Structure 1
Amino acid sequence: MAIEVVPEWMLNLDDEDISFIKKFLLASGSLKEIANQYNVTYPTVRLRLDKLIQKIKISEDTTNDPYVALIKRLAVNDKVDFDTAKILISEYKKIEKGY
C-alpha cells in the first residue's frame, strides 16, 4: 500500500480551490471552458486563477520565522490581501536586517 503525501502548498488550499484546480485540469487548462462552467466572464476566471497562483507561491516560500508564517497564513486565508502581505513581509525583513 502506497502512502499518499500531500504537498505543503496543497494543504493551504480550501475545498473550493481544489475543485477549481480539478475543473481546470479536466478542461485542459481552458479558461474559456472554466468561465462557461462557472457561468462567469473570462476575466473573472483569470483573476481567480491569479489569486490561486499567489496562494501557491506564498505557501511555497518556506520560512521558520513565526511572524512571516502568520502573515502568509492570513494571506492564504484571505484575511489580508497578497500585495499587503508582500509589503509587510518585505518591510519586516528590512527591519530584521537593520535597514
Structure 2
Amino acid sequence: MEHKATTARSELEQILVDETAEPMALPLSLLKDITCDFSDNQVIGRGGFAVVYHGILGDKVIAVKKLSNAYMHEMEFDREIECLMRAKHKNVLQ
C-alpha cells in the first residue's frame, strides 16, 4: 500500500505542472498524509457537499476537497463529481 501512495504522490506532483493531465484516482492514504489526516486544523472551508482542506505536497500548498454524500442523493453526488472532473483551470487539479 505504501508503494501505491508513493507512486501516486509522484504522479500528483507531475500533474500539478501539467494542466492537460487527466483525472486520476488517488489513494486515501496519500490524501490523509497531505492533509494531516483531514485534521480540523487544516480546514479551509465547508459547504453543503464538502469540506476543503489545506494540504502540503512537496513544496506546494494545495487544497483537497473531501466530498461527503451524507447530505445528498446519489444523483447530486454524481453531478458534483462530473462538475469537478470538467473543471479546467490552472489552479484546479483533476
TM over 0.5: no
TM-score by length of 2: 0.31
TM-score by length of 1: 0.30
Q: Which has the higher helix share?
A: 1
